[in-house]
Amino acid sequence: MTARPFLPAGLIKRIAWGRHSLRASVLAYLAVLLIIPLLVILRDGLQEGLTGFWQTISQPVAWHALTLTLWTSAVMVIINTVMGTLTAYVLVRYEFAGKALLNAIVDLPLAIPTLVTGVMLVILYGPQQALGGWLDHTLGWRIIFAPPGIILALLFITFPLVVRAVQPVLLNLDREQEYAAATLGAGPWTIFRRVTLPALALPMSSGALLSFARAIGEFGAIIIVAGNIPLYTQTAAVFVFGEVESENRAGASAMSIIMVAIALGLILGVEWLQQRQERKSVA
């Protein structure tokens, strides 16, 4: 093939037409990539009607997988929101050696393959390892192949989400409100609680929802850390994997629909919160 050095004649005229075709091709791409697979799942899961769907979900194994996923994610969200906010506060408000490095490390969990995350946690907390063994024998805490392992893995994976949601808002926050509170007699803790924290409520919730959405579908780290023990450590994503393996398409699709619905709801929630935050910063 030879490269053509010049644009073909007449292209300029076609730019207006090109704008329409660009829009159309993007929409088509989205349809093929996102919409059609979603519709297929929906059709598959509801093949046997709503009763069939409900029967599949309410089996003890499926139900347990679903509730385990929800409660471990919820615990993670609480811890992550508190710690992520504090991390952002420290990164914005304090100067210390290694701050730039810490700021870079925050994003690391996004880049590390989640399987590797699982392996790291197993090496650290596994029952045969020093730390894991000590926790098991002394405190009776089992981490690996148990729900705490799931929470740890989720915490690791979602760490950047709250930090990065809160940090920019905190950076732009008008310090004068805090100074004003100080002149009115408020101490540092009161200022944080009554003035700083309320201003961070929106980014904190959007970071929390994002973490939750991310956690619902996590597979790689959890399968390594918690294994696939039905009625104990099997999460929704791992359940779907099992159903696919045993060629139970209806079960896989039904659980998938639930997960998609939750994720969709959360993403819409995040979107709404972010829009409110933008309106607020414009005002």
Q: Are 177 and 98 in contact (CB under 8 A)?
A: no
Residue from 55, 129, 177, 248 in contact with other proteins (CB under 8 A): 177
- In the region spanning residues 111 to 140, those forming contacts with other proteins, defined by CB under 8 A, are none
- Could you tell me the smallest distance in angstroms from the CB atom of residue 10 to other proteins? 54
Residues that bind other proteins (rule: CB under 8 A) add up to a total of: 20
- Could you tell me the smallest distance in angstroms from the CB atom of residue 227 to other proteins? 45
170 touches other proteins by CB under 8 A: no
186 touches other proteins by CB under 8 A: yes
Among 107, 150, 113, residue whose Cα is nearest residue 237: 150
Residue from 8, 174, 189, 247 in contact with other proteins (CB under 8 A): 174
- Interface stretch with other proteins, choices 30-38, 104-112, 129-137, 170-178 (CB under 8 A): 170-178
Residue from 9, 15, 33, 184 in contact with other proteins (CB under 8 A): 184
- Interface stretch with other proteins, choices 20-28, 153-161, 174-182, 260-268 (CB under 8 A): 174-182
232 touches other proteins by CB under 8 A: no
3-state helix/strand/coil string of the chain: CCCCCCCCCCCHHHHHHHHHHHHHHHHHHHHHHHHHHHHHHHHHHCCCHHHHHHHHHHCHHHHHHHHHHHHHHHHHHHHHHHHHHHHHHHHHHCCCCCHHHHHHHCCHHHHCCHHHHHHHHHHHHCCCCHHHHHHHHHHCCCCCCCHHHHHHHHHHHHHHHHHHHHHHHHHHCCHHHHHHHHHCCCCHHHHHHHHHHHHHHHHHHHHHHHHHHHHHCCCHHHHHHCCCCCCCCCCHHHHHHHHHHCCCHHHHHHHHHHHHHHHHHHHHHHHHHHHHHHHHHHC
Residue from 182, 244, 250, 263 in contact with other proteins (CB under 8 A): 182
190 touches other proteins by CB under 8 A: yes
181 touches other proteins by CB under 8 A: yes
- Could you tell me the smallest distance in angstroms from the CB atom of residue 215 to other proteins? 29
- Could you tell me the smallest distance in angstroms from the CB atom of residue 176 to other proteins? 4
201 touches other proteins by CB under 8 A: yes
Instruction: Give residues in contact with other proteins (CB under 8 A).
Output: 174, 176-177, 179-187, 190, 194-195, 198-199, 201, 280, 283
